Chains A and B, each alone.
Chain A
Amino acid sequence: MLEIRNLVVKIADEDKQILNGLNLTVNDGEVAAIMGPNGSGKSTLSYVIAGKEDYEVLDGEILLNGENVLEMEADARAAAGIFLAFQYPLEIPGVATMTFLKAAMNAQRKARGEAELLTPDFIKQVNAAADALSIDKAMLRRPLNVGFSGGEKKRMEILQMALLQPSMCILDETDSGLDIDALRIVAEGVNALRDKSRGFLVITHYQRLLDHIIPDTVHVMSKGRIVKTGGKELALELEKSGYAAYGEAA
């Protein structure tokens, strides 16, 4: 379970405050969507949960299963079960995708006191996950995300999510840059991971993604706070009325 209490965040090197006392709970097994206009602080929220250093938390706490993660570095948060699917996955030239996947899986296992994966088991797991997401094996031999299309990068994010088995998945604008087929594949990948022990926070600008990943709850974010919470019908409402009613232009 993810609980965020009165979170106040500014950009580290500037005076600009982005999150202004945000409260949010995502229960195990719940798919929560956050919608909001550009600049409302959605991506900042995802980065702060994952542990990016460019921000300064002025107040509040982020609890994962009751434990405050704010003192942890990003890698410790990942090992604790937080996974952020990036809006813009980074290209890492010179690092083979397979090398990276194995390093990530073993680093998390090591942090949790588990034995390293044996190579045949690792390959079996990767192949199965790649097949489910229609990921070409040739892609796995290339340097991580280098020269991948937008859709390939997003599928690679979901592949990592499937392999790392996090308890709290955050999807930051995962629909951006996807055509309708890629969107369907990515959504199916996410839906396959839905589980009563796993929470999802799906951040999106548009209703479109939520046609494929049906949320249990929808939160509206504006000016760094959650201003309205409802069921999946709230997303449809927003699609019609826009964000103007929440004090911001779309």
Chain B
Amino acid sequence: MSVVTPLKTAAEQALSAQFAAAKAELPGALPVRKLREDAFAGFEVKGLPHRRLETWRYTDLRSLLREARPLAATATVTDGVRARLAALALDGVRLVLVDGVFVPELSTLEGLPEGLAVHSLADALVSGREDIARVLSGPGVADADAGLMLNTALMRDGVFIEIAAGTELDAPVAIISLASGEDERAIFHRSVVLAGPSVKATIIEISESAGTAASQINGAIVFETGDESDVQHLRMVTRHAPETVQVQSLLATVGAQANFESFALVLNAGTLRQQYFVRYAGEHTNIGLRGVNLLGGSEHSDVTLVMDHEVPNGTSREMFKSIIGGEGTGVFQGKVIVRQHAQKTDGSMKSNALLLNDGASMFNKPELEIFADDVVCGHGATVAQIDGEQLFYLMARGLPRPQAEALVLQAFAGEAVEFVQDEALRALVMTEIEAWLSLREASSVVSAI
């Protein structure tokens, strides 16, 4: 048998050099160092994910990352960062990462609600806790992903959140991850949320840039939630430079009779790959993954998810809405695995896209892998234009075309947004969407003149 070793790209060679140079100073006790070494060895075999891999078919990271930017090792807290933090309308606990590094002085660490404990990931990695390898790794379906391997090898910092059994948090906990955007950097961060049984909590994750330089971002968040917990997750990826390349992984292991729902808003995010790896660890659990992608220019948004129904009586709901203009590209790859014993699984997966013009494109690839014989699973994927009949109806009532279009688009996105349970957060999401639509509306008025 011959082994073919593919030629390494310049970026892959640079990453190898970076890991060799940084591994001694990257945080972690011995088991973590081994985890990093193993992950990087795995990455070196696979290389950067490319289009010949089915799971990365539409987002060729190998060609997108021509060069590997220098690793960000410290937080550059600029005036831009402070201004953005001041402008963010968010209540509750704020945990701030700048360039992937936790910044305690910008974060809420005093007077945390009872049952909530927060550390930096770096502290957790050196703490020597025995379960660190398990809590970092997440569901098995994520193990082979090279993007995640790179994150494991190079993760610098993040936040480590523990919520004690029975805790009900009134206000959300926000992980605000800002790239300073002063110069082009590579940012690797990971956060962990361990929620005990019967916990009720909302976790917000914000990824933005405070400057104009394009970053390379590889972020991950790991959820491990207990039986009868209800954890809501809201992610907003916005305000990035168009040349930003970003991978965001979400790993979740959800207990029995629990609820886990995630919603992601993506706009002005450059090139973004969001990947979800979700495992049902107990029966009678509901998991919902939803999101809205608003794309223009040459933006690219890839949502790839794997729902692993290992146990019976699980419910899964996925709904992603994409509005794509310019030369934008949307990707949805959804895989629902229903294993042989996972009877009575109830799954519904939807990806709907509206293309606003000729240059826009959408790739939809829903997959069901069902090995059980008593399940209800369905998927629907659509790609369409704005409904001309709806548009005419609104215009016949006097709404000018751009305003009528904005209303139809807002309604289209709103069908997913309505699943954001917290009213204030739902309003925050709608405000961002309306601002994006009104900019589009304004520019179409200008082009009409």
Contacts and interface: CB of A to CB of B under 8 A. Distances in A.
Interface of A: 50-54, 73-75, 77-79, 83-84, 86, 89-90, 92-95, 100, 103-105, 107-108, 111, 143, 160, 164
Contacts of A53: 388, 392
Interface string B388-427: 1110111111111101100110111111001000000000
B397 A90 contact: no
A189 B413 CA distance: 35
Given A73-B401, A103-B403, A92 B411 contact: yes
B390 A103 contact: no
B407 A74 contact: no
A107 B399 contact: yes
- Of B393, B407, B418, chain A has the most CB atoms within 10 Å of the CB of B393
10 contacts: A75-B396, A75-B398, A75-B399, A75-B401, A78-B398, A86-B396, A92-B394, A95-B407, A103-B403, A107-B403
A103 B392 contact: no
A86 B396 CA distance: 10
Contacts of A105: 398
A160 B415 CA distance: 25
B385 to A, nearest CB: 13
Nearest to B415: A94
B401 A92 contact: no
Contacts of B412: 94
Given A90-B390, A103-B403, A107-B403, A78 B396 contact: yes
Contacts of A164: 397-398
Given A89-B393, A90-B390, A75 B407 contact: no
Given A92-B407, A92-B411, A94-B415, A108 B393 contact: no
Nearest to A160: B397
- Of A75, A79, A143, A160, chain B has the most CB atoms within 10 Å of the CB of A75
B438 to A, nearest CB: 13
9 closest A-B pairs by beta carbon, nearest first, are A94-B411, A94-B414, A74-B395, A78-B398, A108-B398, A104-B397, A90-B393, A107-B398, A75-B395
A111 B401 CA distance: 13
Interface residues of B, number: 24
A52 B395 CA distance: 9
Contacts of B413: 94
Contact of B411 (A74, A77, A93, A107): A93
A84 B392 CA distance: 11
B321 to A, nearest CB: 10
- Of A52, A74, A83, A95, chain B has the most CB atoms within 10 Å of the CB of A74
Contact of A75 (B404, B411, B414): B404
A160 B400 CA distance: 17
A164 B407 CA distance: 19
Contacts of A90: 389-390, 393
Contact of B393 (A92, A94, A103): A92
Given A74-B392, A75-B404, A86-B393, A94 B410 contact: yes
A105 B390 CA distance: 18
Nearest to A166: B398
Nearest to B390: A90
A74 B396 CA distance: 5
A205 B270 CA distance: 55
Contacts of B408: 92, 95
Interface string B18-54: 0000000000000000000000000000000000000
Nearest to A108: B398
B354 to A, nearest CB: 13
Contacts of A77: 396
Contacts of A94: 410-415, 418
Given A50-B396, A107-B397, 15 more contacts: A51-B395, A53-B388, A73-B400, A74-B392, A75-B399, A78-B397, A92-B407, A93-B411, A94-B412, A95-B407, A95-B410, A100-B394, A100-B407, A103-B407, A107-B403
Contacts of A103: 399, 403, 407
Nearest to A90: B393
Contacts of A107: 397-400, 403
Contacts of B411: 92-95, 143
Contacts of A83: 396
Interface string B185-211: 000000000000000000000000000
B398 A92 contact: no
Nearest to B409: A94
B120 to A, nearest CB: 41
- Of B394, B396, B403, B413, chain A has the most CB atoms within 10 Å of the CB of B396
